[in-house]
Structure 1
């Protein structure tokens, strides 16, 4: 089975083809982490604008089991 890499994966591989120091690697990890946190925050703001939630809604969501149950075979 072969897996085709997407454009983002290919670009990252090209970036990491260069010898990076430990500090540069940590900087890149932090940049990626910050990016995904920012994207999640933006999505949460959009969701909050579409359907404002109060603390009771958030508490209910916190205690809701959302995982798909495993099939017992």
Structure 2
């Protein structure tokens, strides 16, 4: 099976070669989490502003039962 990395993955691999210790790894993880958290926040703001998301949908999701039911053996 052939695996091809996209340009973002290749760039990150090159950057990771400079992370020589656990502190550098922690800093990279934190930076990436902040970037993606900001993206999610911006997307949610856009949904609220467009009216595609509201408090009613929030409440529905909060009350939704997402656990997989266990089957008796």
TM range (shorter): 0.7 to 0.9
Q: Which runs of 5+ in 1 are unaligned?
A: 67-73
**Partner in structure 2 of residue 44 of structure 1:** 44
Distance in 2 separating the partners of 1:18 and 1:27:
12
TM-score by length of 1: 0.75
Higher relative contact order, chain-length normalized (CA < 8 Å, sep 6+)? 2
What's the Cα RMSD here?
1.9
Moved over 2 A (4+): 61-66
Give the length in aligned residue pairs. Answer: 65
Superposition pairs for residues 7-46 of structure 1, below 5 Å?
Answer: 7-46=7-46
Q: Which runs of 5+ in 2 are unaligned?
A: 67-73
TM-score by length of 2: 0.75
Distance in 2 separating the partners of 1:19 and 1:42:
29
